[in-house]
């Protein structure tokens, strides 16, 4: 048999956000006449689902149904500043900005409702279904829509708020490297099982079993997407991808999906995972983030599993079939050598 | 804390219906009358002096509108991090006297169609005198390597140092106290973000003297600010519209297409689209950089890491882009999620004559994790210890201090290991099964939630 | 370049268009007929984002000269989207979160549509094989395979309880 199986383990941290130059994202929120709330941002949705996640955070921060949240993003004429979607910062920074903005708007909403209900704002609470109640008096309530109408046309008030998620600039000490480069850390443990064909050098990733701790999840289905997509991308980085396989002959750089090696749908391993939610100290509702992280731990877990399978540590990626075969060959040569190298002193050869 | 009703639930994607009907509007799904297309003339070699650029043959191509060279760029500095005072300015938008990587932009052609722009671009004659190239980070630091930068070295200078340094404790003392020294060299590859939608922008002149720039950048204001500085228009004259991106992964943090599209729109008065071909996306957009890392760990007989020394080299390619910052982030992560009492890290940002690398999912951290976890297994295997237990023994806990002198908070590594052990059916010794990242508290992990 | 008038049947409607020699069907669909659901991920035939159906077969429209499609039935994603909602495959993709950035989604759905038309009850391996020419960089494919499986079940009347 030329197929050997092995199991690999990797345990990692992943930082959220950055420190350089200060790291802000802003949000504005305002009520329409009918009690819908427009969240205005200039943040970017790369596909991770930021538009959806921000609607969810805004809904809970305002205490209204998610369907009453309109997310308007992607225009610098209307949207307040955002540093951008990178460094796993989107949900963390924009989420904090949305909560900050919603807090201000919610205070106004409660003041408006209080006037309509002839109660103190501190005695009011939204029920999340579109109504505001007087605590302890279930029959005294007003709908968010009616409160918004009253604000616009009777009380002459704007229900709006401004918010920012901000990490101040943290300079790096050039001598010691002392710095505060992130806002929180997510963590993961990944275990993979691989099968290595020692005749062809091919590696088949059989299973990926993972536990991610990412703070509060905003949308579990979107988190699932990051974990599964990340497992695939990590496997691709570990075993397939490189833009310069033939340096120094750079004319062989890949220029198409045909030439750039990626795993396809049938190479996807069985992926099993669990998400732990231990709230962060700085994120919106305890969010940490998972955008970048999920593509990392599968890489060392796969490479460590290959070592477990063939008994040779491979220290470069991608682990192409050629790399596996050369590693096996080197191992074979070194194990066939006499136990003492010829250039050493002493005459203790067997 | 407010009651969470929507957060924590799998509500449908807001863009779901748009995606499945194909009606989500991506940059080049917009159409404009008189839209012109831009294509770039690139260096065929990795390192050369530019002797002459002749666009006269290109001008004869049917559909040709205009050609741009560095002389058309008001402020020919494409150094994106200068917005946050990270210099020096070292990359041009269009090359002037020298090219430093194969594919470096030398001129741009604007034409009625993409096909015409590509045909005209192929007819631009560039007279080059080739210079020696260097493709390896350590070779680039040799004294006889071709020098790529005006300041005479091939590395980025960090406040007077040739590398980003981390110094914590006394690493030499740690090595003396160690029972074993575990050393290894690790190497990662450069990889392409490969978003299915290539990088693109359309710049449209408006009647009020402004420009609307439709873009798939990951960072609208960052792109706007850089574009305004390069094209030399007041910031107020630009409106950037985007927010919907066909995959980013870090590749669309660069500000590659917006300045040239805006410059071309300004020069011609037409809306101009600059969309990377797939070949450009693969070959000249910034990939994840390759990293070489040398690890040396001092370890006790029972597997405790008492000292770690790392020398690492990030291959920035020909220009900075975001790599100087990736190296700083890397320096904060080469210790991994472990308690390292003595550390010495030297992390270099090195220039080679390769396409500039930049941001990608895992920016500086992914290579560190790859090396760290290789080390953890190597330590376990060479000392004959259990791979899980070596990690538990060294796992950082809240309140520990990292080599970059930050007090650890939000640590939960131990908890993920415990859950993973359960998932794969692995029994842990009681000391690890009951361990917690929260030293001060009891082990009822959920009590803090 | 000299154009030529050709007659194309797209989503059941026959239109006349001036096309350039060797102009890809993709270009005509997008730039002349406004079918923007047909995406342009590579123009090399390598990513599948421009997949349309030509007489029911999934074809990368960036490699097919428009002239070669004369006399065929061309179907784009717009053509399978009902006026009053979503087709079962579209619904399954949405409900299973079988997309992130959405750029590969139209081509992926057209490929799935063609598969389910000729094989209403495909195995997972058959689904994986069918979509192997469509590149997705976000999802890791599993959610897409799940969605196509679910669409098959719902189209066969076996019901689907969603994601």
Q: Evaluate whether the domain defined by B140-191+287-406 bears CATH number 3.30.365.10.
A: yes
Sheet holding A23-31, edge to edge: A69-73, A37-41, A23-31, A160-167
Cβ of B221 within 8 Å of Cβ of A83? The answer is yes
Alpha-carbon distance of A241 to A212, in angstroms, equals 25
Contact residues on chain B for A7, CB-CB shorter than 8 A: 424
Contact residues on chain A for C111, CB-CB shorter than 8 A: none
Q: Out of A47, A224, A264, whose CB is closest to C102? A: A47
Burial (CB count <10 Å: 0-12, 13-18, 19+), residue A345: exposed
Q: Minimal CA–CA distance to A309: which of B427, B377, B417, B181?
A: B377
Contact residues on chain B for C138, CB-CB shorter than 8 A: 247
Q: Minimal CA–CA distance to C76: which of C109, C103, C118, C98?
A: C109
Q: Out of A221, A228, A256, whose CB is closest to C140? A: A228
Name the one residue in this structure whose structure tokens are 């192997």.
Answer: C132
- What are the residue ranges spanned by the domains of chain C? 4-80, 88-155
Helix (H, G, I), strand (E, B) or coil at B9: coil
Instruction: Outline which parts of chain A fall under CATH 3.30.365.10.
Output: 3-15+182-335, 21-167
Task: Give the side-chain half-sphere CA count within 13 A for C6.
Answer: 24
Helix (H, G, I), strand (E, B) or coil at B175: helix
C26: its two tokens: 């993709």
pLDDT band of residue A339 (cuts 50, 70, 90) is low
- How far is C-alpha C4 from the geometric centre of its chain's CA atoms? 26
B90: its two tokens: 């070292």
- How far is C-alpha A332 from the geometric centre of its chain's CA atoms? 42
> Does position A347 have pLDDT exceeding 50, yes or no?
no
| Predicted pLDDT of residue B2 | 61
Q: Which residue of chain A comes nearest to C145, CA vs CA?
A: A265
Q: Does A180 touch chain B (CB under 8 A)?
A: yes
Q: Does C1 touch chain B (CB under 8 A)?
A: yes
Contact (CB, 8 A) for B197 and B399: no
pLDDT band of residue C2 (cuts 50, 70, 90) is confident
The class of domain C88-155 in CATH terms is mainly alpha
Conformational region of residue C68, where left means phi above 0, alpha means psi within -120 to 50, and beta covers everything else: alpha
Contact residues on chain A for B219, CB-CB shorter than 8 A: 44, 82-86
Buried b / exposed e along C79-106 (16+ C-beta atoms within 10 A)? bbbeeeebbbbbbbbbbbbbbbbbbbbb
Contact (CB, 8 A) for B4 and A53: no
Contact residues on chain C for A257, CB-CB shorter than 8 A: 42, 44, 46-47, 135
Which H or E run includes A286? none
Contact (CB, 8 A) for C153 and A277: no
Contact (CB, 8 A) for A236 and C147: no
B279: its two tokens: 């070949």
| Predicted pLDDT of residue A248 | 55
Find the mean pLDDT for residues B426-431. 97
pLDDT band of residue A60 (cuts 50, 70, 90) is very high
Among A45, A47, A265, A270, the strongest candidate for a mutation testing the C interface, having the largest count of C CBs within 10 A, is A265
Under 8 Å CB pairs connecting chains A and B tally to 379
Which H or E run includes B82? none
Alpha-carbon distance of A105 to B28, in angstroms, equals 37
Q: Out of C42, C46, C100, whose CB is closest to A225? A: C100
> Does position B449 have pLDDT exceeding 60, yes or no?
no
Contact residues on chain A for C139, CB-CB shorter than 8 A: 225, 228-229, 232
Going by DSSP bridges, is the β-strand pair B291-299/B105-111 parallel, antiparallel, or unpaired? unpaired
Burial (CB count <10 Å: 0-12, 13-18, 19+), residue B234: exposed
| Predicted pLDDT of residue A338 | 58
Chain A nearest CA to C62, separation (Å): 14
Chain A nearest CA to C102, separation (Å): 7
Averaged pLDDT of chain A: 93
In CATH, the number for domain C4-80 is: 3.10.20.30
What is the set of active-site residues of A? 292
- How far is C-alpha A13 from the geometric centre of its chain's CA atoms? 12
Pick the CATH number of A21-167 from 1.10.10.10, 3.65.10.10, 1.10.540.10, 3.30.365.10: 3.30.365.10
pLDDT band of residue A69 (cuts 50, 70, 90) is very high
| Predicted pLDDT of residue A245 | 61
| Predicted pLDDT of residue B77 | 94
Q: Does B23 touch chain C (CB under 8 A)?
A: yes
Alpha-carbon distance of B90 to B94, in angstroms, equals 12
Q: pLDDT tens, A1-51? A: 599 999 999 999 999 998 777 899 999 999 999 999 999 999 999 999 999
| Partners of B388 in the β-ladder | none
Cβ of B7 within 8 Å of Cβ of A215? The answer is no
Q: Out of B21, B28, B249, whose CB is closest to C77? A: B21
Residues 189-218 of A with CB under 8 A from B: 189-191, 209-213, 215-218
In CATH, the number for domain A3-15+182-335 is: 3.30.365.10
Alpha-carbon distance of A241 to B10, in angstroms, equals 32
Angle at the Cα of B282 from the Cα atoms of A326 and B371, rounded to 5 degrees:
45
> Does position B444 have pLDDT exceeding 50, yes or no?
no
What percentage of chain B reaches a pLDDT higher than 70? Answer: 97
Averaged pLDDT of chain B: 95
A11: its two tokens: 């345990």
| Predicted pLDDT of residue A346 | 38
pLDDT band of residue A279 (cuts 50, 70, 90) is very high
Give the count of beta carbons closer than 10 Å to the beta carbon of residue A70. Answer: 15
Q: pLDDT tens, B90-109? A: 999 999 999 999 999 999 99
pLDDT band of residue B331 (cuts 50, 70, 90) is very high
Q: Which residue of chain A comes nearest to B183, CA vs CA?
A: A315
Instruction: Outline which parts of chain B fall under CATH 3.30.365.10.
Output: 140-191+287-406
Which DSSP string corresponds to B283-326?
HTS--BPPEEEEEEEEE-TTS-EEEEEEEEEEEEETS-TTHHHH
Contact (CB, 8 A) for A307 and A300: no
Cβ of B282 within 8 Å of Cβ of A73? The answer is no
Alpha-carbon distance of A66 to B385, in angstroms, equals 52
Find the mean pLDDT for residues B333-350. 98
Find the mean pLDDT for residues A272-289. 97
Q: Out of C128, C135, C143, whose CB is closest to A225? A: C143
Chain A nearest CA to B336, separation (Å): 7
* C-alpha torsion B313→B315→B319→B325, nearest 10: -50
Which DSSP string corresponds to C14-64?
EEEEEE-TT-BHHHIIIIIT--TTS--S-SSSSS-TTEEEETTEEEETTTS
| Predicted pLDDT of residue B71 | 97
Domain topology for B27-131+193-283: Aldehyde Oxidoreductase; domain 3 (3.90.1170)
Find the mean pLDDT for residues A161-187. 95
Cβ of B20 within 8 Å of Cβ of C105? The answer is yes
Cβ of B420 within 8 Å of Cβ of A57? The answer is no
> Does position B269 have pLDDT exceeding 90, yes or no?
yes
Q: Minimal CA–CA distance to B189: which of A13, A323, A191?
A: A323
| Predicted pLDDT of residue A117 | 97
Chain C nearest CA to B255, separation (Å): 20
Find the mean pLDDT for residues C114-118. 98
Instruction: Outline which parts of chain B fall under CATH 3.90.1170.50.
Output: 27-131+193-283
Contact (CB, 8 A) for A44 and A11: no
Find the mean pLDDT for residues C64-84. 97
What percentage of chain A reaches a pLDDT higher than 70? Answer: 94
Cβ of B190 within 8 Å of Cβ of A237? The answer is no
Find the mean pLDDT for residues B386-395. 98
What percentage of chain C reaches a pLDDT higher than 90? Answer: 94
Q: Minimal CA–CA distance to B22: which of A342, C68, C107, A268?
A: C107
> Does position C159 have pLDDT exceeding 80, yes or no?
no
Q: Which long-range contacts (CB under 8 A, 24 or more apart) does B119-122 make?
A: B119/B61, B120/B39, B120/B58, B120/B59, B120/B61, B120/B63, B120/B64, B120/B67, B121/B39, B121/B40, B121/B41, B121/B58
Contact residues on chain C for B12, CB-CB shorter than 8 A: 94-95
Residues 92-121 of A with CB under 8 A from B: none
> Does position A344 have pLDDT exceeding 80, yes or no?
no
Cβ of A307 within 8 Å of Cβ of B283? The answer is no
Alpha-carbon distance of B434 to C38, in angstroms, equals 55
Alpha-carbon distance of A49 to B109, in angstroms, equals 36
Q: pLDDT tens, B117-171? A: 999 999 999 999 999 999 999 999 999 999 999 999 999 999 999 999 999 999 9
| Predicted pLDDT of residue B169 | 98
Find the mean pLDDT for residues A305-309. 98
């Amino acid at each position: 048999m030329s197929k050997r199986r092995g199991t690999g383990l990797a345990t990692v941290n992943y930082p959220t956000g950055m420190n350089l130059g200060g790291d802000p994202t802003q949000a504005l929120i305002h009520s329409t006449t009918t009690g819908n709330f427009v969240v205005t941002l200039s943040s970017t949705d790369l596909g991770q689902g930021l538009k959806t996640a921000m609607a969810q955070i805004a809904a809970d921060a305002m205490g209204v149904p998610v369907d009453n949240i309109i997310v308007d993003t992607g225009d610098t004429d209307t949207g307040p500043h955002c540093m951008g979607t990178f460094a796993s910062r989107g949900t963390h920074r924009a989420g904090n900005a949305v909560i900050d903005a919603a807090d201000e708007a919610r205070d106004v909403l409660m003041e408006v409702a209080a006037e309509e209900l002839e109660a103190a704002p501190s005695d009011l609470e939204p029920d999340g279904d579109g109504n505001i109640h007087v605590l302890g008096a279930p029959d005294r309530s007003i709908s968010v829509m009616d409160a918004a109408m009253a604000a616009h046309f009777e009380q002459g008030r704007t229900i709006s708020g401004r918010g920012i998620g901000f990490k101040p600039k943290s300079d790096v000490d050039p001598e010691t490297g002392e710095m505060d480069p992130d806002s929180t850390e997510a963590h993961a443990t990944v275990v993979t099982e691989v099968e290595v064909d020692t005749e062809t050098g091919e590696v088949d990733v059989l299973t990926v079993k993972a536990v991610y701790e990412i703070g509060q999840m905003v949308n579990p289905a979107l988190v699932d997407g990051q974990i599964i997509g990340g497992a695939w991308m990590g496997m691709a980085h570990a075993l397939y991808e490189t833009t310069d396989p033939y340096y120094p002959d750079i004319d062989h750089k890949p220029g198409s999906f045909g030439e750039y090696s990626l795993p396809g749908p049938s190479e996807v391993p069985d992926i099993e995972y669990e998400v732990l939610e231990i709230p962060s100290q700085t994120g919106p509702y305890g969010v940490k983030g998972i955008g970048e992280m999920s593509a990392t731990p599968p890489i060392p877990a796969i490479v460590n599993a290959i070592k477990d399978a063939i008994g040779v540590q491979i220290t470069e990626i991608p682990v192409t079939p050629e790399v596996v075969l050369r590693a096996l060959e080197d191992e074979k040569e070194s194990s066939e050598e006499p136990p003492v190298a010829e250039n050493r002193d002493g005459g203790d050869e067997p | 804390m407010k009651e969470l009703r929507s957060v924590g639930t799998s509500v449908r994607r807001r863009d779901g219906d748009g995606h499945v009907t194909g009606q989500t509007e991506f940059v080049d799904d917009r159409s404009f009358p008189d839209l012109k297309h831009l294509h770039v003339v690139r260096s065929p070699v990795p390192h050369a002096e530019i002797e002459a650029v002749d666009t006269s043959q290109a001008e004869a191509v049917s559909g040709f509108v205009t050609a741009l060279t560095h002389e058309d760029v008001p402020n020919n500095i494409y150094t994106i991090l200068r917005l946050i005072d990270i210099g020096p300015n070292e990359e041009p938008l269009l090359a002037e006297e020298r090219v430093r990587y194969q594919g470096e932009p030398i001129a741009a052609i604007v034409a009625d169609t993409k096909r015409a722009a590509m045909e005209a671009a192929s007819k631009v004659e560039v007279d080059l005198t080739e210079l020696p190239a260097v493709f390896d980070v350590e070779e680039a630091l040799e004294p006889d390597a071709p020098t790529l930068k005006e300041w005479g070295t091939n590395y980025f200078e960090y406040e007077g140092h040739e590398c980003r340094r981390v110094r914590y404790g006394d690493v030499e003392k740690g090595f003396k106290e160690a029972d074993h020294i575990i050393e290894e060299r690790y190497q990662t590859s450069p990889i392409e973000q490969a978003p299915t939608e290539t990088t693109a922008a359309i710049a449209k002149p408006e009647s009020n003297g402004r420009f609307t720039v439709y873009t798939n950048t990951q960072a609208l204001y960052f792109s706007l600010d850089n574009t305004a500085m390069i094209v030399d228009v007041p910031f107020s004259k630009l409106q950037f519209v985007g927010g919907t991106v066909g995959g980013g992964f870090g590749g669309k943090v660069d500000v590659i297409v917006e300045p040239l599209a805006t410059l071309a729109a300004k020069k011609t008065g037409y809306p101009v689209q600059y969309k990377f071909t797939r070949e450009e996306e693969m070959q000249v957009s910034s990939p994840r950089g390759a990293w070489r890392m040398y690890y040396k760990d001092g370890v006790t007989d029972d597997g405790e890491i008492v000292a770690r020394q790392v020398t690492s080299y990030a291959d920035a390619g020909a220009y900075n882009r975001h790599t100087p910052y990736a190296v700083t982030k890397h320096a904060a992560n080469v210790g991994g999620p472990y308690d390292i009492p003595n550390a010495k890290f030297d992390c270099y940002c090195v220039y080679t004559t390769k396409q500039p690398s930049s941001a990608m999912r895992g920016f500086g951290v992914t290579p560190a994790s790859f090396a760290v976890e290789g080390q953890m297994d190597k330590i376990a295997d060479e000392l004959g210890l259990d791979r899980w237990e070596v990690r538990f023994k060294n796992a950082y806990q809240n309140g520990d201090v990292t080599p970059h002198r930050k007090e650890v908070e939000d640590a939960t590594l131990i908890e993920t290991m415990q859950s993973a052990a359960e998932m794969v059916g692995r029994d842990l010794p009681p000391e690890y099964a009951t361990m917690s990242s929260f030293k001060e508290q009891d082990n009822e992990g959920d009590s803090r939630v | 370049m000299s154009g030529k008038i050709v007659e194309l049947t797209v989503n059941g409607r026959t239109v006349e268009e001036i096309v350039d020699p060797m102009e890809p069907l993709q270009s005509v669909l997008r730039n002349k007929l406004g079918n923007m659901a047909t995406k342009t991920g590579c123009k090399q035939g390598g990513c599948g984002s421009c997949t349309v159906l030509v007489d029911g077969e999934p074809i990368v429209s960036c490699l097919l000269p428009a002239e070669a499609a004369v006399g065929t039935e061309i179907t784009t994603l717009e053509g399978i989207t009902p006026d009053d909602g979503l087709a079962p495959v579209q619904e399954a993709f949405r409900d299973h979160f079988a997309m992130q950035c959405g750029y590969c989604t139209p081509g992926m759905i057209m490929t799935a549509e063609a598969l389910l038309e000729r094989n209403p009850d495909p195995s997972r391996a058959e689904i994986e094989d069918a979509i192997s020419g469509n590149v997705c960089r976000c999802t890791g494919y599993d959610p897409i395979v799940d969605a196509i499986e679910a669409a098959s079940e719902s189209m066969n009347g076996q019901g689907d309880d969603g994601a």
